[in-house]
Amino acid sequence: MMKRDECFRILARHIGDAAVVATYSSAVDWVTVAPRVLNYTSIGAMGLDSSHGLGLALGRPDKRVVVLQGDGSLLMNLGSLVTIGEVAPKNLVHLVAHNETYEANGGHPIPNPKVDFAGLARAAGYAAVYDFADLGVFAQQVAHLLEQEGPVFATLRVEPSRPLTYDYESLYDPAKRKAFKTAWRA
Amino acid sequence: MQAAPAKALNGASIIAALKTSGIEYVLSVPDIVTSAGLLTPIARDQELKLIRVCKEDECIGIAAGLAYSAKRALILIQHTGFLDSINAVRGIAAEYAQPICMMIGLLQHDPEFAPRASNRYGVRIVEPILDAMGIAHHLIDVDADVAKIRPAIDTAYREQHPVAFLVGRSPS
């Protein structure tokens, strides 16, 4: 079992100029590790992270898009796996932090905590699918994962984290949305 | 005395208006009102890119991502799917002020009545909900209404706000 913030520290070393779509606990950890203008954290409705990511990937096929989604979020939008599998954007990397809980909403368990997200993504038609539970293996493969032809999916099996502070004013700051748009269109 | 001409709505005119509005992507879950007259020809169209999604709220996120990328999209759904997507519309389209353009088929609506006067509860509440959310909306009922589409889409993208087109009559 890994820690989400440790995974993200490793990911941040390789992220380059990719857009990173993240929400809730994943967003809190990501913006702490990698505060950058190309972070997209205004999702508006739980579960739609993967759909925003698909739109960004279609809109800028010349750039990379990385979605950092929680397991509870993906469960709210499981159909997006099928949509992404069908559309098959080559520049989309979809990482799901599987900590088996709705961490931002009190730490309650998700339905069927042992659900096989990687298996679902494979069945939905993702081009490449991974399932990481070991930080060393993730560190070894993350660069390849970010570079290969997508859509790429990976489950990150992580522990529930320490209590987080959710600064939604900052995550949903309109000025950050505006800055993202300018940078993304450049 | 001549009979009044039959009211009609031409799907090809709507598709032409979408193209002149700069719409590049159509995001859709099938809707029986617009199925034959819009979705089927759009699926065959060489210029428009159709993305078939599993559930209507996906469209809201995808359209936002496209808008950030300077790409225009139309969401083509049924009013039941719009109702199911209210939270996404609230968060992304309304609160984040994104140019989310929706074309909404009014299922089982009798086009001889205004939507607010529909005998279908689900149809009757659509316009009041849009009003409560502060979302501009236009009824696309007859061919003359097609002229509303381009200016409304241009305004939505220029002023960064959502817009809804309500289709109560099946386009031919």
pLDDT band, residue B4 (cuts 50/70/90): low
SS (H, E, C) B68-133: HCCCEEEEEEEHHHHHHCHHHHHHHHHHCCCCCEEEEECCCCCCCCCHHHCCCHHHHCHHHHHHHH
Chain A nearest C-alpha distance from B92 (Å)? 5
Q: Looking at chain A, which residue has its C-alpha nearest residue B71?
A: A59
Q: Are B126 and B117 in contact (CB under 8 A)?
A: no
Q: What is the pLDDT of residue B5?
A: 60
Query: Residue A104: its pLDDT value, please?
Result: 82
Q: Are the beta carbons of A90 and A42 closer than 8 angstroms?
A: no
In the prediction, which pLDDT does A166 show?
A: 82
What are A80-132's pLDDT values in tens digits? 999 999 999 999 999 999 999 998 888 899 999 999 999 999 999 999 999 99
Check pLDDT > 80 for residue B6.
no
SS3 of residue A66 by DSSP? strand
The helix (H) or strand (E) run that includes residue B61 is: helix B56-68
Identify which of A129, A125, A128 has the alpha carbon closest to the alpha carbon of residue A156: A129
- Residue B56 and residue B30 in contact, taking contact as beta carbons nearer than 8 Å: no
Radius of gyration for the alpha carbons in chain B, expressed in angstroms and rounded = 15
Relative to beta strand B72-78, strand B23-28 is parallel
Which residues of B fall within a CB distance of 8 Å from A177? Answer: 96
What was the pLDDT predicted at B57?
98
Q: Which residue numbers in chain A have pLDDT < 70?
A: none
DSSP string, A10-33: HHHTT-TT-EEEE-HHHHHHHHHH
A59 in Cβ contact with A86 (< 8 Å):
no
CB contact under 8 A, B52 and A185: no
Note the pTM of the prediction, 2 decimals: 0.96
- Which residues of chain B lie closer than 8 angstroms to A50, CB-CB? 61
pLDDT at A167: 87
**Which chain B residues are within 8 Å of A54, Cβ to Cβ?**
58, 61-62, 65
> Would an 8 Å CB–CB cutoff place A176 in contact with chain B?
no
Say how many C-beta atoms besides its own lie within 10 A of residue B30's C-beta: 15
CB of B170 closer than 8 Å to CB of B37: yes
HSE-CB at A50 with a 13 A cutoff on CA atoms is 35
Residue of A nearest to B93 (CA): A44
Average pLDDT for residues B75-93, to the nearest whole number?
Answer: 98
Return d(Cα B101, Cα B24) in angstroms, integer: 12
Sheet containing B49-52: give its strands across.
B49-52, B23-28, B72-78, B101-105, B163-167, B136-140
Cβ–Cβ < 8 Å for B124, B114? no
CA distance A107 to A158: 14
Out of A77, A177, A181, closest to residue B58 by CB = A77
Residue type, B22: G
- Orientation angle between helical segments B149-159 and B11-20, nearest 10 degrees: 30
Q: How far is B2 from chain A (nearest CA, A)?
A: 51
- Quote the tokens at residue B14: 């709507």
CB contact under 8 A, B90 and A45: yes
Q: For residue B69, what is the nearest residue in chain A, using CA coordinates?
A: A59
Angle, helices A117-124 vs A79-87, to 10°: value is: 40
Contact between A131 and A121 under an 8 Å Cβ cutoff? The reply is: no
Q: Pseudo-torsion of CA A40, A46, A49, A51, nearest 10°?
A: -130
pLDDT band at B3 (very low <50, low <70, confident <90, very high): low
Q: Does the pLDDT of residue B165 top 80, yes or no?
A: yes
Contact flag B68-A56 (C-beta cutoff 8 Å): yes
Note the pLDDT tens digit of each residue in B16-33.
999 999 999 999 999 999
Rg (alpha carbons) of chain A, rounded to whole number: 15
- State which residue of chain B sits closest to A78, comparing Cα positions: B54
pLDDT, tens digit (0-9, with 9 covering 90-100), for B36-65: 999 999 999 999 999 999 999 999 999 999
